[in-house]
Amino acid sequence: MREGLICPRCGAIVETWRNPAPTVDIIIHAPERGVVLIERSGPPFGFALPGGFVDTGESVEEAAAREAFEETGLHVTLEALLGVYSDPARDPRRHTLSVVYIASTREPEKLAAGDDAAAAAWHRPEALPENLAFDHARILDHFRAWLRGERAAAAVTGRA
């Protein structure tokens, strides 16, 4: 969306652009344990997939691996791209779009809350908490459909 701001020095209209902020969410899945959810320590409160904003100069794959580690202490391997979610109302703080990955970890026992996570735990996909933040209930519905073979996922094409 293009907008104009007024320059405080000369009074001219300065054209600016407002775009959705790129984010990533990671479904860390271990068949014997379930999926990782964090309990958010800041608003919006509730349970969420690990994830966050993509930094300048960073690929979405790098951001996914970084955010997964920062919030869970887990090193992950990105296995598949579940989808891109961009509903303008998905994040109450601002318009974001999220690239959502399915990932695995070789050391699931090392799960520990970090960064902006008050807690982190494994949850069975069929028994998730009701107070999921953002649009993560929808994303996890799509993930369960993928587990049942009812939804496709794409290959990860970039590097983490």
What pLDDT digit, counting tens, does each position of 95-150 carry? 999 999 999 999 999 999 987 789 999 999 999 999 999 999 999 999 999 999 99
Q: How far is CA 154 from the centre of its chain?
A: 17
Query: Which of the four pLDDT bands, split at 50, 70 and 90, describes residue 52?
Result: very high
Kindly tell me if the per-residue pLDDT of 21 is higher than 80: yes
Query: Is residue 32 pLDDT above 60, yes or no?
Result: yes
Q: Is 111 in contact with 117 (CB distance < 8 Å)?
A: no
